[in-house]
Amino acid sequence: MLIMAGSSCRVLGVKIARELDTRPSCMESRRFPDGELYVRIGEDVSGQDVALIQSMCISPNDFLMEYLLAADTLRDLGARSILGIIPYFAYARQDQRFKPGEAISCRTVADLLRLVGTSEIYTVDAHLHRIRGLTEIFKIPTRELTAVPLLSTYIKENFRLERPIVIGPDEESEQWARVTAEILGCDHDVFEKRRLGPREVEITPRRTSVSGREIVMIDDIISTGGTVLRHSRC
């Protein structure tokens, strides 16, 4: 199998190739003056299985387009299969239509990944709040991995926490808060929202007093940090 990393995952590509006792394959990516992307596959991929590694955080539009161009080129050059390694799967927030006329972007991106020749998708802790799994939106095999046990173990081994409690910012985050709490050997809680008026919402832990506790807050997406900041002030 060839290991090929997009511009968002060059370092990860090198590490994965090293673990597999091979070298990362050559893929060139740059921009034209007007911002368009240029992608070139730098070696023969005919008949090869290719792991195409590209996360879609920070600049999701650019990294998604780069992945689509690379995957379509790999298919055109005769790759036998394309395994999409996408640590952060973008556009998962919009997995249904909340208001009339909205795009269901999660489904659109899933279709695009399939149409350019992706054979299978691997991702990490996808944003699944209203669907049970990626199989509900993908028409190709998917594998969702979780980093929660690794992150929780890192916290346990590197921080001396006294009376910790793991907090999730909403009910959907309880699945990760529970696992982290089990590894840290402490309890967990999630925040609940209670509407006090048209524009006023009270946010409080569901059942636990956090006074004097050391807080570990866990969520699947931290975009601007606003949610974490707001909950940390409660």
pLDDT tens string 153-205: 999 999 999 889 999 887 778 889 999 999 999 999 888 766 566 556 566 76
Pair 140, 152 in one domain: no
Of residues 225 and 130, more confidence is placed in 225
Pair 132, 158 in one domain: no
Q: What is the pLDDT of residue 177?
A: 92
The answer to whether the CB of 184 falls within 8 A of the CB of 156 is yes
The angle formed by the CA atoms of residues 105, 108 and 111, to the nearest 5 degrees, is 150
What gap in Å lies between CA 48 and CA 79, rounded to an integer? 5
Q: What is the pLDDT of residue 22?
A: 93
Of 25-39, 49-63, 100-114, 213-227, where does mean pLDDT reach its minimum?
213-227
Q: What is the pLDDT of residue 170?
A: 79
Beta bridge partners of 3: 24, 51
Q: What is the pLDDT of residue 232?
A: 72
The answer to whether the CB of 4 falls within 8 A of the CB of 14 is no
Q: What is the pLDDT of residue 98?
A: 80
Which of 112, 145, 178 is the last residue in one of the domains? 145
Helix orientation angle between 60-76 and 105-115, rounded to the nearest 10 degrees: 30
What gap in Å lies between CA 19 and CA 39, rounded to an integer? 26
Which of 87, 121, 145 is the last residue in one of the domains? 145
Pair 124, 165 in one domain: no
Q: What is the pLDDT of residue 42?
A: 94
Pair 80, 21 in one domain: yes
Q: What is the pLDDT of residue 208?
A: 64
Pair 123, 21 in one domain: yes
Q: Is the pLDDT of residue 5 over 80?
A: yes
Among all residues, which ones are annotated catalytic?
193
Mean pLDDT score of the chain: 89
The answer to whether the CB of 216 falls within 8 A of the CB of 166 is yes
Element containing residue 209 per DSSP (H, E) = none
Q: What is the pLDDT of residue 198?
A: 53
| DSSP codes of every residue in 39-65 | EEE-S--TT-EEEEE---SSSHHHHHH
Mean pLDDT of all residues in 45-63: 96
Pair 9, 97 in one domain: yes
pLDDT in tens, 103-156: 989 999 999 999 999 999 999 988 876 667 777 889 999 999 999 999 999 999
What are residue 90's phi and psi, to 5 degrees?
Answer: -75, 165
Pair 169, 112 in one domain: no
CATH of the domain at 153: 3.40.50.2020
Q: Both tokens of residue 83?
A: 């395994």
Question: What is the domain count for the chain?
Answer: 2
Pair 113, 198 in one domain: no
What are residue 29's phi and psi, to 5 degrees?
Answer: -140, 130
Q: Both tokens of residue 109?
A: 């991106």
Of 98-107, 128-137, 209-218, where does mean pLDDT reach its minimum?
128-137
Q: Which domain holds residue 190?
A: 148-232
Pair 47, 138 in one domain: yes
Pair 173, 127 in one domain: no
Q: What is the pLDDT of residue 152?
A: 96
Q: Could you give the count of Cα atoms lying within 13 Å of 208 in the half-sphere of its Cβ?
A: 17
pLDDT in tens, 21-50: 999 999 999 999 999 999 999 999 999 999
